[in-house]
């Protein structure tokens, strides 16, 4: 048995406080919970991964609690004792044993890839084809629902040199009010910033008919996932008649989804997300199909903390063409992080961190402070018989 054999898989739920309330179409988030995955090999290399959801199960059905349970009970038994270099074989085995649960699988694959990088002394992007960029322009989410506050927040980000792209979460307000809010923000920031909107599947085709041209007139440059994820035909019709870019996110989770999007010309671009696609390698497969089919790419996020963000960045820097950049801005939304060096944003771009593997080290003190199973927290939970 090789010394690189996997000795243990550990999962830890971490609850990080948010800097401010994040309002999605389906939920309000006050904290961001993530699952830290630590995989240890026989010769002492530790792979780190992160699995998280955008504040609960509304997006993909998984929650941090289900991710932890799925890994501990059903995935880890296949990983312990295996060779971390057999990722394709391991993930195929896991796929046969566990249907769905893409987020849990992504956390595992991330830690395995981190081990590979560390064991050969290379950053992960060098194993993925090499870097074509060292930084990525990333959007900042505007999601409080109050246009004045959102303009103020954007101005602060512009002044700090952190973000000059803003993505407005829509769908929590009635469409008329929501479109008015987005137009106000886009007009307020015009010439200074690029503004995009994401209704997270909340629109119907009738809404899109009047909303899309109005948003375009106000200077919004992109609409993300306006319709329910299954409705590629509606998205194709909107893409054809709009003078504003249309992006699919929820509807592009697997390589099979991507083939349908290419066939139907259902969007101008798709958002890649490591979590929804069960890992970095699958995301690359989706990226290849999109590129071959003439559909542009965007580097999406589930608001991972600095660990998952660093891993996403390892993928993003290998993608030659990202005309609208990405949105790896999770680390800025949490008030504190568990990485030793949190993600760095300079000149309006996220900077690629140096280092082997995904390039992140855990701050053990912070981890102990924010982990959910901290002993003093466990004692405070009343048991109901
Ligand atoms: Mn989205």
- Check if the beta carbon of residue 235 is closer than 8 Å to that of residue 67: no
Query: How much distance in Å is there from the Cα of 169 to the middle of ligand 1?
Result: 8
Query: How much distance in Å is there from the Cα of 22 to the middle of ligand 1?
Result: 14
Q: CATH number of the domain that 112 lies in?
A: 3.30.390.10
Write down the pLDDT at residue 377: 59
* Model pLDDT for residues 113-163, shown as the tens digit of each residue: 999 999 999 999 999 999 999 999 999 999 888 999 999 999 999 999 999
Same domain, 32 and 67: yes
Q: What is the residue-averaged pLDDT of the chain?
A: 94
- Check if the beta carbon of residue 280 is closer than 8 Å to that of residue 357: no
Same domain, 133 and 149: yes
Same domain, 57 and 101: yes
Query: How much distance in Å is there from the Cα of 116 to the middle of ligand 1?
Result: 30
Q: CATH number of the domain that 224 lies in?
A: 3.20.20.120
Same domain, 99 and 227: no
- Which residue in 68, 105, 118, 169 is the catalytic one? 169
Same domain, 147 and 61: no
384 confidence band (pLDDT: 50, 70, 90): very low
Q: Is pLDDT of 83 > 70?
A: yes
Query: How much distance in Å is there from the Cα of 307 to the middle of ligand 1?
Result: 20
Q: Is pLDDT of 238 > 60?
A: yes
201: left (phi over 0), alpha (psi -120 to 50) or beta: left
User: How many CB atoms lie under 10 A from the CB of residue 293?
Assistant: 14
Within a domain: 323: yes
Within a domain: 1: no
- Report if pTM > 0.75: yes
318 confidence band (pLDDT: 50, 70, 90): very high
Same domain, 97 and 146: no
Query: How much distance in Å is there from the Cα of 36 to the middle of ligand 1?
Result: 23
Within a domain: 356: no
Same domain, 112 and 190: no
Residue 169 annotated in active site:
yes
Name which of 166, 119, 163 is nearest 6 in CA terms: 119
Residue 284 annotated in active site:
no
Within a domain: 385: no
379 confidence band (pLDDT: 50, 70, 90): very low
Query: How much distance in Å is there from the Cα of 369 to the middle of ligand 1?
Result: 30
Within a domain: 262: yes
Same domain, 137 and 29: no
Same domain, 132 and 84: no
Within a domain: 357: no
Write down the pLDDT at residue 382: 41
Query: How much distance in Å is there from the Cα of 195 to the middle of ligand 1?
Result: 14
- Check if the beta carbon of residue 35 is closer than 8 Å to that of residue 107: yes
Same domain, 99 and 191: no
Q: Residue 202 sits in which domain range?
A: 126-351
Please identify which residue in the block is written with the tokens 């090499």: 130
Within a domain: 174: yes
In total, how many domains does the chain have?
2
Same domain, 205 and 289: yes
- Which residue in 46, 50, 250, 327 is the catalytic one? 327
Query: How much distance in Å is there from the Cα of 134 to the middle of ligand 1?
Result: 24
Same domain, 329 and 343: yes
Within a domain: 261: yes
Write down the pLDDT at residue 2: 58
């Amino acid at each position: 048995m090789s010394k690189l054999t996997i000795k243990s898989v550990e999962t830890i739920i971490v609850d990080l406080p948010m800097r401010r309330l994040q309002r999605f179409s389906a939920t309000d988030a006050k904290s961001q919970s993530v699952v830290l995955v630590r995989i240890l090999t026989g010769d002492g290399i530790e792979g780190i991964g992160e699995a998280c959801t955008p504040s609960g199960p509304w997006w993909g059905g998984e929650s941090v609690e289900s991710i932890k349970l799925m890994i501990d009970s059903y995935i880890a038994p296949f990983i312990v004792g295996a060779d971390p270099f057999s990722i394709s074989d391991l993930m195929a085995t896991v796929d046969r044993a566990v249907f769905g649960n893409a987020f849990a699988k992504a956390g595992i694959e991330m830690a395995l890839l981190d081990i590979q990088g560390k064991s050969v002394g290379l950053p992960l992007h060098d194993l993925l084809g090499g870097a074509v960029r060292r930084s990525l322009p990333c959007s900042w989410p505007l999601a409080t629902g109050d246009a004045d506050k959102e303009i103020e927040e954007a101005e602060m980000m512009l002044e700090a040199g952190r973000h000059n792209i803003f993505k407005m979460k829509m769908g929590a307000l009635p469409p008329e009010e929501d479109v008015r809010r987005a137009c106000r923000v886009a007009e307020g920031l015009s010439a200074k910033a690029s503004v995009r909107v994401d209704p997270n599947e909340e629109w119907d085709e009738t809404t899109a008919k009047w909303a899309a041209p109005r948003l375009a007139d106000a200077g919004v440059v992109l609409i993300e996932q306006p319709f329910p994820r299954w409705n590629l035909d509606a998205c194709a019709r909107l893409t054809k008649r709009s003078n504003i870019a249309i992006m699919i996110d929820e509807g592009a989770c697997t390589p099979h989804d991507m083939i349908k999007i290419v066939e139907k010309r259902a969007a101008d671009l798709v958002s890649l997300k490591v979590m929804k696609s069960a890992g970095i390698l699958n995301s690359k497969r989706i990226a290849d199909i999109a590129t071959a089919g003439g559909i542009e790419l965007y580097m999406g996020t589930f608001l991972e903390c600095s660990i998952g963000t660093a891993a996403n960045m390892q993928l993003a820097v290998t993608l030659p063409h990202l005309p609208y950049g990405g949105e790896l801005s999770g680390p800025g939304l949490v008030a504190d992080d568990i990485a030793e060096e949190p993600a760095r944003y300079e000149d309006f771009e996220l900077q690629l961190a140096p280092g082997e593997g995904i390039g992140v080290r855990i701050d053990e003190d912070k981890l102990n402070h924010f982990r959910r199973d901290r002993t003093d927290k466990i004692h405070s939970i009343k048991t109901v018989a």
